């Protein structure tokens, strides 16, 4: 007998059905959780990793999509002392099967850990960028050099049509970068990316824009003076942000206006100060957002728009 249930409009087969089983384990580390899983009587096809702060799958957030051959994942977007719950969801011919629930509590200090932003300073070597730098694979390490957009990319204003200083694609990593006073259109990501230790001195049109679907991980960043929005999301995607400082912006994040595709957003350990409107804004009733272990000051409305879910926990005001 095959047991079935519906979750978010999708037909799910429960573990232990004719689909077989996905056996998931979670191991805690310092500031990370390591996941490992295997299949019994089933074949991996489209795998997604979900996380939540409780064992109820309602409201869980997708943190990654991985290839069919992947059997492990390290989640670094976590805070010490917090217990996290995980699932693997595998979809075959439109029918999804879920793993067991696995949980772990990483170390690294209580209270969500410290919020430090980027470790890059602004007084290092400088270079002018006259054509967008593309990072298509591997890691581009800027050594905390300052990259200033030339006039060919834009003037750092809020005008549309400016070009990015960096374009990061296909899960590649951009790290140790300072975007100078002319930020043009910041950083664009395509098909997923990792941004690590980035400093925006003066955000131009946007600090970062997700241009096509994928999972984008952003950590150890800080930026200032985004008149409109800091993050712009233009495609169905997952965005996980941890250890961030965002000061003086219209919004911390905006899903492209008038769109109804789903985005899943998590912010953890962020210092958000002086937002003209608020933190998260969407026009999509299928999108989700979560803000945890963060410090807020004059942040405005946290959740603007018809979010499917927009949750908060462990946040303080100062």
Q: Which residues contact 123 (CB under 8 A, 6 or more apart)?
A: none
Q: Which residues contact 122 (CB under 8 A, 6 or more apart)?
A: 146, 178, 199, 201
* Residues 233 and 239: beta-carbon distance below 8 Å: yes
Tokens for 60? 């869980």
Tokens for 180? 């100078």
Is residue 113 pLDDT above 70, yes or no? no
In this predicted model, what pLDDT tens digit does every residue of 210-242 receive, in sequence order? Answer: 999 999 999 999 999 998 999 999 999 999 999
Domains and CATH numbers, the chain: 4-104 (2.60.40.10), 126-317 (2.160.20.10)
Compute the mean pLDDT over every residue in the chain, rounded to the nearest whole number.
Answer: 89
pLDDT value for 108: 65
pLDDT value for 13: 45
């Amino acid at each position: 007998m095959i047991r079935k249930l519906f979750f978010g409009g999708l037909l799910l087969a429960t573990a232990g059905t004719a689909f077989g089983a996905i056996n998931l384990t979670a191991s805690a580390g310092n500031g990370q959780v390591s996941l490992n899983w295997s299949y019994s009587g089933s074949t991996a096809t489209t795998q997604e990793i979900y996380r939540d702060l409780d064992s109820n799958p309602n409201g869980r957030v997708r943190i990654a999509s991985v290839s069919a051959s992947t059997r492990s994942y390290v989640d670094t977007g976590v805070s010490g002392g917090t217990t996290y719950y995980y699932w693997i969801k595998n979809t075959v011919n439109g029918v999804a099967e879920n793993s067991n629930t696995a949980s772990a509590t990483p170390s690294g200090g209580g209270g969500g850990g410290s919020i430090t932003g980027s470790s890059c300073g602004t007084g290092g070597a400088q270079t002018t960028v006259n054509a967008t730098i593309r990072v298509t694979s591997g890691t581009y390490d800027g050594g905390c050099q300052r990259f200033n957009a030339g006039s060919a990319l834009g003037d750092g204003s809020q005008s549309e049509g400016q070009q990015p200083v960096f374009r990061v694609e296909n899960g590649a990593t951009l790290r140790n970068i300072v975007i100078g006073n002319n930020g043009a259109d910041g950083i664009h990501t395509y098909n997923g990316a990792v941004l690590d230790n980035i400093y925006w001195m003066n955000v131009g049109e946007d600090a970062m824009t997700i241009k096509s679907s994928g999972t984008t991980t952003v950590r150890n960043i800080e930026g200032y003076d985004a008149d409109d929005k800091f993050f712009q999301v233009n495609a169905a995607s997952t965005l996980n942000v941890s250890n961030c400082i965002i000061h003086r912006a219209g919004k911390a994040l905006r899903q492209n206006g008038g769109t109804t595709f789903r985005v899943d957003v998590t912010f953890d350990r962020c210092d958000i100060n002086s937002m003209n409107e608020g933190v998260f804004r969407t026009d999509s009733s299928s999108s989700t957002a979560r803000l945890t272990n963060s410090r807020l000051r004059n942040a405005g409305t946290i959740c603007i728009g018809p979010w499917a879910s927009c949750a908060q926990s462990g946040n303080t005001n100062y």
